[in-house]
């Protein structure tokens, strides 16, 4: 192929480069996976009914191929048609022969990884019973696996663990099982429940959108709180969420636990709450008139109970905000003590203004994690017909996010990418041109000499190679 000449030189291109890869950092994913034991744990949630004599791809290798591909930005199964030829991805997935010369079928030799149809059968095995669909999974085990792996990433001696809850609408792609029109999103969608602790995902439950955000939260909290307390025995647990989770069943469950589970939840405004906040709104208007500020906030705390739905009086924090566009009252309900905890140095941490601005508003960071889930890992690509297989896809995308989060935390702490999105980590660290040479004794990966972040790559390599592999 001839291109525009460069001075007196011709510019010629062809496809004779040999075994090249554009994912030179894929081996980092394997190293993090080895430390976390992600694909090893996940493989235990599946049952392999295939005849071992005709198996080219182990269950663990297929799961690694799918999750690593998601982490590398190849979310569609169709991408595997070309990606399965990548020798570096094959090496990352644990293939003894990255060139695929040891395949059982002579027609497949030279192709190391599984085809799109093979991975599709893996995802659909819970919905179809045939001679081809022999890899069913146990949903309860996969759910517990994600929770176990996420909790394993929490520091053992943490004094406080804040569990952020949120629901996010994922649009469906056709007449899929469980589709329902949601007026808030203005389209047919699913409404999965997510739970994060900081950057670490603990829960990703696919739900139909015909129920509210609080649907199924209490059973999820029962499992999450038990797992967190097993890991962080002395930690104080705080559940945080928007007004969709400010429901009696959630608050009553938190209050009934021993030790108590604390909550800081948004509360939908009503005429009674606004009436209780009226003096604060008047105060804010007066302050704005006197100061000429664009906006003024005044905070008030008071006890409140609904007429029928709440079982007891609860502490409510009201934000009386006055802006040029008008009044903006907001409310939070909590069981955190206004005087703080005994023995805590900062006893004013939970006064109304600080509780709202520092604790409750910090839940907005979870939105950043969800955006990375959707924009960088395409977690909303739930395009199979069945609810069960879409749930599996959601779990796989969440595990892919966890893998990249661990790479960022363990390998890039203190660097310019320490707080980068997983998409930026992928682009700058994993997408590196490499030539792969396979001999009897080694797989030799020659990375691009022009790669601009070589020192960062070497630093990440040194840190990850110090990690011990997961036991078991």
Residues 441-449: what's their mean pLDDT?
Answer: 92
Tracing tokens 């999450």 back to the chain, one arrives at 224
**Residue 219, by phi and psi: left (phi above 0), alpha (psi -120 to 50) or beta?**
alpha
Residues 376-391: what's their mean pLDDT?
Answer: 92
* pLDDT for residue 33: 95
Q: Where are the domains of the chain?
A: 15-137+385-465, 140-375
Q: Smallest Cα–Cα separation from 185: which of 157, 213, 162?
A: 213
Q: What is the pLDDT of residues 4-57, one digit of tens each?
A: 999 999 999 988 888 888 999 999 999 999 999 999 999 999 999 998 888 999
- Max CA separation in the chain (angstroms): 86
Q: What gap in Å lies between CA 380 and CA 192, rounded to an integer?
A: 10
Q: What is the pLDDT of residues 289-318, one digit of tens each?
A: 888 888 999 999 999 999 899 999 999 999
Residue 472 has pLDDT above 80, yes or no: no
* pLDDT for residue 32: 95
Residue 257 has pLDDT above 60, yes or no: yes
Residue 165 has pLDDT above 80, yes or no: yes
Q: Smallest Cα–Cα separation from 335: which of 413, 236, 431?
A: 236
Q: What is the pLDDT of residues 117-134, one digit of tens each?
A: 999 999 999 998 888 899
* pLDDT for residue 343: 80
Q: What gap in Å lies between CA 380 and CA 397, rounded to an integer?
A: 9
Confidence of residue 171 (pLDDT cuts 50, 70, 90): very high
Q: What gap in Å lies between CA 142 and CA 308, rounded to an integer?
A: 39
143-157, 169-183, 193-207, 389-403: segment of lowest average pLDDT = 169-183
Q: Smallest Cα–Cα separation from 382: which of 361, 405, 398?
A: 398
Q: Right CATH number for 140-375 from 3.90.350, 1.10.10, 1.10.3470, 1.10.1060? A: 3.90.350
Q: What is the pLDDT of residues 265-296, one digit of tens each?
A: 999 999 999 999 999 999 999 998 888 888 99
* pLDDT for residue 212: 87
Q: Smallest Cα–Cα separation from 412: which of 457, 378, 460?
A: 460
Q: What is the pLDDT of residues 329-381, one digit of tens each?
A: 999 999 999 988 888 888 889 999 999 999 999 998 999 999 999 999 999 99
Could you tell me if 366 and 196 are in contact, meaning their C-beta atoms sit under 8 angstroms apart? yes
Could you tell me if 126 and 392 are in contact, meaning their C-beta atoms sit under 8 angstroms apart? yes
Angle between helices 248-256 and 217-231 (to 10 degrees): 30
142-146, 182-186, 357-361, 422-426: segment of lowest average pLDDT = 182-186
């Amino acid at each position: 192929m001839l291109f525009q000449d460069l001075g007196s030189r011709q510019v010629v291109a062809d496809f004779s480069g040999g075994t090249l890869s554009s994912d030179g950092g894929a081996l980092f994913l394997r190293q993090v996976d080895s430390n976390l034991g992600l694909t090893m744990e996940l493989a235990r949630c599946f049952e392999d009914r295939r005849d071992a004599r005709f198996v080219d791809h182990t269950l663990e290798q297929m799961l690694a191929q799918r999750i690593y591909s998601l982490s590398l930005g190849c979310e569609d199964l169709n991408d595997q048609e070309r990606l399965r030829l990548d020798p570096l991805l094959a090496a990352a997935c644990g293939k003894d022969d990255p060139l695929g010369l040891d395949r059982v079928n002579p027609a497949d030799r030279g192709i190391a990884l599984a085809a799109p149809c093979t991975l599709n059968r893996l995802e659909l095995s819970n919905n179809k019973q045939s001679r081809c669909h022999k890899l069913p999974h146990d949903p309860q085990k996969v759910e517990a696996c994600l929770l176990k792996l996420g909790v394993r990433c929490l520091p053992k001696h943490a004094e406080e663990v804040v569990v952020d809850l949120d629901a996010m609408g994922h649009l469906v792609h056709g007449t899929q099982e469980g589709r329902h029109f949601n007026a808030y999103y203005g389209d047919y969608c699913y409404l999965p429940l997510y739970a994060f602790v900081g950057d670490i995902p603990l829960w990703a439950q696919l739900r139909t959108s015909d129920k509210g955000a609080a649907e199924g939260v209490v059973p999820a909290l029962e499992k999450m709180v038990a797992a967190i307390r097993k890991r962080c025995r002395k930690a104080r647990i705080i559940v945080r969420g928007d007004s969709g989770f400010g429901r009696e069943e959630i608050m009553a469950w938190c209050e009934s636990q021993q030790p108590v589970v604390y909550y800081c939840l948004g509360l939908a405004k009503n005429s009674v709450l606004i009436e209780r906040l009226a003096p604060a709104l008047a105060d804010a208007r007066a302050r704005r008139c006197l100061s000429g500020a664009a906006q003024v906030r005044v905070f008030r705390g008071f006890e409140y109970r609904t007429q029928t739905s709440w079982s007891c009086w609860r502490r409510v924090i009201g934000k009386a905000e006055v802006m040029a566009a008008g009044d903006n009252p907001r409310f939070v309900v909590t069981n955190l003590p206004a005087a703080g905890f005994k023995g805590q140095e900062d006893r004013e941490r939970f006064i109304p203004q600080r509780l709202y601005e520092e604790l409750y508003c910090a839940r907005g960071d979870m939105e950043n994690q969800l955006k990375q889930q959707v924009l960088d890992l395409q977690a909303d690509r739930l395009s199979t017909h069945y609810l069960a297989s879409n749930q599996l896809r959601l779990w796989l995308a969440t595990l892919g996010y966890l893998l990249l989060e661990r790479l960022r935390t363990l390998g890039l702490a203190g660097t310019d990418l320490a707080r980068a999105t997983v998409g930026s980590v992928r682009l700058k660290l994993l997408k590196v041109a490499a030539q792969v040479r396979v001999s009897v004794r080694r797989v030799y990966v020659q990375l691009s000499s022009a790669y601009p972040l070589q020192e960062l790559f070497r630093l990440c390599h040194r840190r990850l190679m110090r990690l011990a592999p997961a036991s078991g």
